[in-house]
Chain A
Amino acid sequence: EPEVTQTPSHQVTQMGQEVILRCVPISNHLYFYWYRQILGQKVEFLVSFYNNEISEKSEIFDDQFSVERPDGSNFTLKIRSTKLEDSAMYFCASTDRVLDSPLHFGNGTRLTVT
């Protein structure tokens, strides 16, 4: 069964550094998402992406964050200048259509900001 893949599985970075989290969604999917989960807390929506543009973003997704689909397969999340509070699991997800089709999640990237 096709799956969403995320790399790296774990990223350690220093505060103020830029990080890029990478995702390869399922190939025939059109809608892409990033979610964040701080340790022990709920899964929080960051951003959705469709037709090469952001569909919706949350309050968390401020100017430090950006997303890009640089080619036909990758979907990236960039954090320009990381803060300690950005430490979390970041999940990429994709679906072929909204509303009644489930999201398919990757296994996540654990970001640790020191």
Chain B
Amino acid sequence: AQSVTQLGSHVSVSEGALVLLRCNYSSSVPPYLFWYVQYPNQGLQLLLKYTSAATLVKGINGFEAEFKKSETSFHLTKPSAHMSDAAEYFCAVTGNQFYFGTGTSLTVIP
């Protein structure tokens, strides 16, 4: 069975600081992993995906994530936070369907 766990339901960073959102996965097969972002009153938008090519995946808006099999992790990072990054972030893994984590709310402090 596939699942993801997001550590930290709320993360606050200062504008310009590093963003690190954590995701650990559990999968009985090589996983396909995704990060989505949800802005207020909007649907989920794909940030990036890992599909077994490069372990470091670059996405939109300056985000990237690194697949680490030894740690079963797929953490999302951005070197410098911007006010517009404030949103809810969801990690997901696929099996027969998409399994989402509980989400991490990112607050950016000016």
Q: Which of A12-20, A68-76, A79-87, A98-106 contacts B (4 or more CB under 8 A)?
A: A98-106
How many A residues, CB 8 Å from partner?
A: 23
CB-CB nearest in chain A for B29: A99
Decide if B98 touches A33 in the complex (CB within 8 Å).
yes
Residue A25 interfacial (CB < 8 Å): no
* A residues less than 8 Å from B36 (CB atoms): 105
Closest Cβ of chain B to A88, distance in Å, is 14
**Range of interface residues on chain B?**
20 to 34
Decide if B90 touches A102 in the complex (CB within 8 Å).
no
Q: Which of B14-22, B44-52, B68-76 contacts A (4 or more CB under 8 A)?
A: B44-52
Residue A27 interfacial (CB < 8 Å): no
* A residues less than 8 Å from B101 (CB atoms): 42
Known A-B contacts A43-B103, A45-B97, A56-B97; A99 and B42 likewise in contact (beta carbons under 8 Å): no
* Complexed CA–CA distance, A55 and B32 (Å): 19
Decide if A100 touches B100 in the complex (CB within 8 Å).
no
* Complexed CA–CA distance, A92 and B22 (Å): 26
Decide if A43 touches B90 in the complex (CB within 8 Å).
yes
* B residues less than 8 Å from A98 (CB atoms): 94, 96-97
Known A-B contacts A98-B94, A99-B94; A105 and B100 likewise in contact (beta carbons under 8 Å): no
* Complexed CA–CA distance, A41 and B102 (Å): 7
Decide if B34 touches A107 in the complex (CB within 8 Å).
no
Closest Cβ of chain B to A33, distance in Å, is 7
Contact flags B71-100 to A (C-beta < 8 A → 1, else 0): 000000000000000000010001011111
Interfacial residues, chain B to chain A (CB-CB below 8 A): 32, 34, 36, 41-46, 49, 51-52, 90, 94, 96-103
Ordered by A's residue number, 25 sampled pairs between the chains whose C-beta atoms are within 8 Å are A33-B98, A35-B100, A41-B102, A42-B90, A42-B100, A42-B102, A42-B103, A43-B44, A43-B103, A45-B97, A45-B98, A91-B43, A91-B44, A93-B98, A99-B32, A100-B32, A100-B51, A100-B94, A102-B34, A102-B46, A103-B44, A103-B98, A106-B43, A107-B43, A108-B43
